[in-house]
Amino acid sequence: MNKDFITRQLSDKFDISCLNDMQNVVIETWQVSKNNIVLYSPTGSGKTLAFTVPILLEIQERCFATQVVIIEPTRELVLQTTEVLKKLAPSIKVTSCYGGHNSHDERHSLSQIPVIVVATPGRLLDHIERETLITNTVSTLVLDEFDKSLELGFAEDMRRVICCLSSTVRMLMTSATIIKRVPDYIDISHFMTINFLQHDTHSRITTWQVNCGDENRLTCLINLMMSLPDEKTIVFTNTRDTAHFVYRQLIKAGITSGLYIGTLEQSEREKVLAMFKNGSLLVLVSSDLGGRGIDISDIKHIIHYEQPLTREIFTHRNGRTARVNATGEVYVIVDQEDVAPFIKIDGQYSLANTENRNMKQPTKATIRISAGKKEKISRGDIVGYLLHNCHPLDACEIAGIDIFDHYTLVGLPVDKAEEIVKTISPFKLKKQKVKSMVVSFRPKFI
């Protein structure tokens, strides 16, 4: 692809005038050395652009064959990487494959040969073995967040996939932590290592210790949250059960929250992340699943309801804030136990000042429109549909648009959302009759 075009896309779609040092080093190394690469760089430093830009620069646009496979450990990372690629190169066919949604749609998409496939290991292997994905033309393989794939138990799937990709010429692996054990099926001795972990985000993060004193941990958490400004906050727990418990208690306390754990259905996970992203939810309670699967630029506060079990988990949780050049605040709630030795505390946070009692009530609401990617709906279609049929509604009031296979979620002013749904109900979207409704987040098992 043309470098000038990608530069314009970075400016227009991401508001990026220049790439950072890490990204430039990776791009130059990939272009000049022709070696395989292992990239170590902190969470939130921009690794996705670091590997998508150089592979797009090498794409043969007139060669209608699958040239690149990108393996991600989670469905959320598959969707995020796919979105980046489609913004950078809208003319390139990119297909995403992951568990939890209709595999028939994937097979149909793969029948129109994609140039790039982004997938989780298990679903990718399934398509290779069913021969719905032909891999003999693949020349580049990216293993993003490779350490997490091994941690989640994908080692056997990864081995079988890599064995099938015999035509692969080059590989690029990324990780936010040093990979301590590399499987035998990858000969890392032939890789060039680029290590930016020393350029960590600690200088942009302030870590506070929050002592519970005579209060129980939950009361301490609620008082802490009510003392913070109304900004996006993630509360991390060590288990799904604890996350579920904390979520329910915050709802009872009047704090509008979302829940993000592995037992949620895929559609629920998609919905809660979209609502958190567009501001319909300001608080997300998460297990450590969210330590890798959430890439939202304006998260300000990370609360460790329970201390993480390892340094790596602590690093990935904190990586949800202070993305790229932003700053963030981290709070470690301490009951009777000592602070873990790998946690560096910058100061003590006092809960004495809680007069403001911020209840984290969002100013946005989310509506669901029953048409998505498979109905050929674009963001421009949604914006035009809303602005043409809703008066008064300004484009700047549309907080976010997330388009899924067969539906779209849109963030709108909370005081206008119900009226907007009523107003647009008689009108068609791209000559299609659609249904719209204001949605709330309530898991099916609550």
Predicted pLDDT of residue 202? 62
Q: Please, are residues 320 and 290 in contact by the beta-carbon 8 Å criterion?
A: yes
Tokens linked to 380 = 């421009």
pLDDT digits (tens, 9 = 90+) for 267-284: 898 899 999 999 999 999
Q: Please, are residues 176 and 41 in contact by the beta-carbon 8 Å criterion?
A: yes
Residue the block writes with tokens 């890392």: 188
Q: Please, are residues 335 and 205 in contact by the beta-carbon 8 Å criterion?
A: no
Topology adopted by domain 3-195: Rossmann fold (3.40.50)
| Dihedral angle computed from the Cα positions of residues 147, 149, 154 and 158, in that order, rounded to the nearest 10 degrees | -80
Could you give the C-alpha distances from 334 to 77, 287, 317, in angstroms and in order? 31, 18, 17
Predicted pLDDT of residue 320? 87
Q: Please, are residues 68 and 142 in contact by the beta-carbon 8 Å criterion?
A: yes
Topology adopted by domain 202-348: Rossmann fold (3.40.50)
Predicted pLDDT of residue 258? 94
Phi, psi values for residue 45, rounded to 5°: -90, -5
d(CA 49, CA 43): 13
Phi, psi values for residue 236, rounded to 5°: -100, 140
- Pairing label, strands 408-413, 400-403: antiparallel
- Is the preceding omega at residue 392 within 30 degrees of 0, hence cis? yes
User: Residue by residue, what is the 3-state secondary structure of the chain?
Assistant: CCHHHHHHHHHHHHCCCCCCHHHHHHHHHHHHHCCEEEEECCCCCCHHHHHHHHHHHHCCCCCCCCCEEEECCCHHHHHHHHHHHHHHCCCCCEEEECCCCCHHHHHHHHHCCCCEEEECHHHHHHHHHHCCCCCCCCCEEEECCHHHHHHCCCHHHHHHHHHHCCCCCEEEEEECCCCCCCCCCCCHHHEEEEECCCCCCHHHEEEEEEECCCCCHHHHHHHHHHHCCCCEEEEECCCHHHHHHHHHHHHHCCCCCEEECCCCCHHHHHHHHHHHHHCCCCEEEECCCHHHHCCCCCEEEEEECCCCCCHHHHHHHHCCCCCCCCCEEEEEEECCCCCCCCCCCCEECCCCCCCCCCCCCCCEEEEEECCCHHHCCCHHHHHHHHHHHCCCCCHHHCCEEEECCCCEEEEEECCCHHHHHHHHCCCCECCECCCEEEECCCCCCC
Query: Which segments in the chain show pLDDT lower than 70?
Result: 198-203, 293, 324-325, 352-359, 444-446
Residues carrying CATH 3.40.50.300, the chain: 3-195, 202-348
Q: Which residues pair with 334 in a beta bridge?
A: 211
Instruction: Please count the CA atoms within 13 angstroms of the CA of 71 that sit on its side-chain side.
Output: 29
Residues carrying CATH 3.30.70.330, the chain: 364-439
Q: Is 405 exposed, middle or buried (0-12, 13-18, 19+ CB in 10 A)?
A: middle
d(CA 328, CA 149): 27
Tokens linked to 364 = 């946005």
Q: What is the CATH number of domain 364-439?
A: 3.30.70.330
Nearest Cα to 331, choosing from 228, 252, 231?
Answer: 228
Residues 6+ apart with CB under 8 A from 213: 220, 351
Q: Is 102 exposed, middle or buried (0-12, 13-18, 19+ CB in 10 A)?
A: exposed
| Residues belonging to the chain | 446
